[in-house]
Amino acid sequence: MVPVKTGVAELPLHSGHAPSWLIERMRKLADAIVTVIVESYDAGEFLRRISDPFWFQSFGCVLGFDWHSSGLTTVVTGVLRESLNFEKHGIMVAGGKGSKSKRTPEELKTVLVSHGFDEGKVENLIRASRLSAKVDNALIQDGYNLYHHAIFVDEKGRWAVVQQGMNVSDGYARRYHWLGESVKSFVVEPHSSILSDGVSSIALNMTSRKCEDARKISVDLVCESPSKLIRIFNTLNKQESLTKWLGEETSTTIMEKVPAYLRMPKRVNWDLLRKAYEFKPRNYEEFIEIRGVGPSTVRALALIATLIFGAEVDWKDPVKYSFAVGGKDGVPYPVSRRTMDEATKFLREMIEAAELEKEAKVEAFKRLARAEQITVLEFTHD
């Protein structure tokens, strides 16, 4: 199975660390709740839950964290990393924030091999970890750069990813969820939902089905002579402007609206594209797996595909949902409660069944009640 990206949540950045007493309490509560889920269902059910942004947010609230904080993501995954293990839960967590994320492949190999995973299965999981990060950093160009990546793997080799990106300009972080089942491709609309505090006026979404031709042309371009691609790039930089693909006549006003991260790169890594030419990727997924292929390369090829060859490219932010406490007046989007209600109902049942002291259980229910005040806003796209 290849993964489905199951959602994205966007939260304000907060500095500081959770106090040690809170972390310890969160560990005990997380252990108790996950144990009930695994015993009542299986480890796969926990992976499905952790890949749901609504459930993840409610779970963080129950553990005792501020619902509307980017710190919820890093602390909750960190707590789960320390609480979960194959022996008790049949689940491991690799990765983390900053430099810890770079050690993910090594961690996966060390733990999984010691638990009897064969080399091929381990390599597939490492590939899933790398590709999920590559897609959210390079194919979804929404202004957020990944700084946190964690992968959850169960004893059957099923997995889920929770990762987060930072947008320094507006002070928000966006969380991305992946579930490793039910989808055929990493690069074609792997979302089942996306959560954010707002929708960007423009974003490059190369996972959109609308980009099928652009993805194919991108692969065709890198499989042709690099000298031809250099000529096209130089011609485009001299003669074309972003106003053409935006369908606007006045360049000054439009250029003010186009964020720097979506403009045609001034430089292209031609050594990288020569390497891609020698490799001859058979499809877009193989192309983005090449080490060094990043946002600027993906964007340059996408712009050439649309400006020179007329391929359609999707410039809409793929956001679908948002959180708001008590609702937001004047937000022109319908409100969805069903998914959030289902998430909190499941959590309530797990807390009730968990082996916890009465006081800890009562406090968990109180925090869950606060989480139930979160309204889910649904964005509609033309």
Q: Record the tokens describing residue 67, joined without a space.
A: 């619902």
**pLDDT value for 272:** 96
CB atoms within 10 A of CB 84: 23
Query: For position 198, what pLDDT does the model report?
Result: 59
Quick one: pLDDT at residue 367? 87
As a whole number of angstroms, the longest Cα–Cα distance in the chain is: 71
pLDDT in tens, the chain (382 residues): 555 666 655 555 555 566 788 888 899 999 999 999 999 999 999 999 999 888 998 899 899 876 666 688 899 999 999 999 999 999 999 999 999 999 999 999 999 999 999 999 999 999 999 999 999 999 999 888 899 999 999 999 999 999 988 888 877 778 889 999 976 799 998 766 667 665 677 899 999 999 999 999 999 999 999 999 999 988 877 654 545 544 444 344 444 566 777 888 888 899 999 999 999 999 999 999 999 999 999 999 999 999 899 999 999 988 776 665 443 333 434 446 777 788 889 999 999 999 998 999 999 999 888 877 766 666 655 5
Residue 93 structure tokens: 């967590």
**Strand pairing report for 374-378 and 335-336:** antiparallel
Alpha-carbon distances of 34 from 6, 23, 47, 345, 382, rounded to whole Å: 20, 16, 10, 15, 40
Torsion angle defined by CA atoms of residues 320, 322, 328 and 331, in that order, rounded to the nearest 10 degrees: -20
CA distance 350 to 170: 37
For residue 304, give the 3-state DSSP assignment.
helix
Contact assessment for residue 185 and residue 285, using Cβ atoms and an 8 Å cutoff = yes
| Domain chopping of the chain, boundaries | 2-205+319-378, 209-307
Its pTM stands at: 0.86
